[in-house]
Structure 1
Amino acid sequence: MTDIDIAQLAPDDWAAFRDLRLRALADAPDAFGSRLDDWAEAPEERWRDRLQNVQLNVIARLGDEAVGMASGVLDDDGAELISMWVDPAVRGTGTARALIDAVVDWAHGLDRTTYLMVRSDNARAIAAYERAGFVDLGVPEGHDGPPEHRMVHRGTAG
């Protein structure tokens, strides 16, 4: 594993988050509910609000460079891992696992089950989540839009 540092973001970190999120939306437009056009010209206040309203936002840094991100939100089902992305240049280095573990550990500390939704055609992400301890429950009945699998972390499922 590469020497990756995971840092939690606060609203004052909006510029770093903006730069990373725009890279993610450009790289993987089908992996997110948002689109690059929705955020490209967003004002500072919108970025600050995103960091304020989503309970957990973490980034992975390799040296001074931000190379990945993930977020976690609490809801009635537990804690959902959202907005996961790793720069293609560092995929396969353990960066994804470090981000996933940060969200799972946060949820576990709150005694919450961690779950996520991932596009059915994203085999690499599904494999990464399975290696991190998630179980694939398939596409939920009645799910609208492109097929997405619901996955639950078996260490926190209960």
Structure 2
Amino acid sequence: MVTLKVLTADDWREWRELRLLALTEAPEAFGSTLAEWQGEHDTEQRWRDRLTDVRLNLHAVNGREVLGQVSAYVTDDPGVVELISMYVRPEARGTGAGAALIEGVCEWARSIDARAVTLGVRGTNAPAIARYERSGFVVDANGCRTDCDMSMVRFLTAV
């Protein structure tokens, strides 16, 4: 059973492990690179700061196994949340982990009265685009991102 865990700075080791795997396994999917997080940049304080500076960080877990992760923050428009750093381990894809992570972000966004969740994705990443579409996202023709070539949005309704 997939559950979500809200991370704090004390969870930096677990976040680091999966983030480095994500940047290794799917470098084209992210705005940052593996090199930016290795070597002299790979410090406990930097990982702690990352988990502190970004408002929401989640892991999808099954028991003690971490299946995936995602982050989100409020944009300059307080009614819009940006979903970032989404990654699910290859062996955990199709287990519901991705859907759970997305719903976790959307639930958090609703709890802070956001009206929409946005994200950027590479137009060539068909599996990710399909996952986001299944979760209610649509292409946002007005979205403009520098690190991804496609913007998507999900408008939230009150629950």
Q: Deviations over 1:10-53 (max 9, x none)?
A: 00111111111111111110111111111123110000000000
In the alignment, structure 1 residue 74 sits paired with structure 2 residue 77: no
Range with greater deviation from structure 2 (43-52 or 107-116):
107-116
CA contact (8 A) 1:136 1:151 kept: yes
User: 1:2-151 maps to which residues of 2 (within 5 A)?
Assistant: 3-41=1-39, 42-77=42-77, 78-112=80-114, 113-138=116-141, 140=143, 143-144=145-146, 148-151=149-152
SS of structure 2 residue aligned to 1:30 = helix
Superposition misfits of 4+ residues, deviation over 4 angstroms: none
Q: Deviations over 1:60-97 (max 9, x none)?
A: 11221111000001112410000000000011111100
What's 1:155 paired with? Answer: 156
> How many residues of Structure 1 are paired with residues of Structure 2 in the alignment?
153
Q: Deviations over 1:94-144 (max 9, x none)?
A: 110000000011011111121111111111111110110111124746x54
CA contact (8 A) 2:143 2:152 kept: no
Q: What runs of 5+ residues in structure 2 fail to find an aligned partner?
A: none
Give the TM-score normalised by the residue count of structure 2.
0.89
The code of the aligned residue for 1:152 comes to V
Give the TM-score normalised by the residue count of structure 1.
0.90
CA contact (8 A) 2:141 2:151 kept: yes
CA contact (8 A) 1:139 1:148 kept: no
SS of structure 2 residue aligned to 1:111 = coil
- Structure 1 residue 155: deviation in Å? 2.7
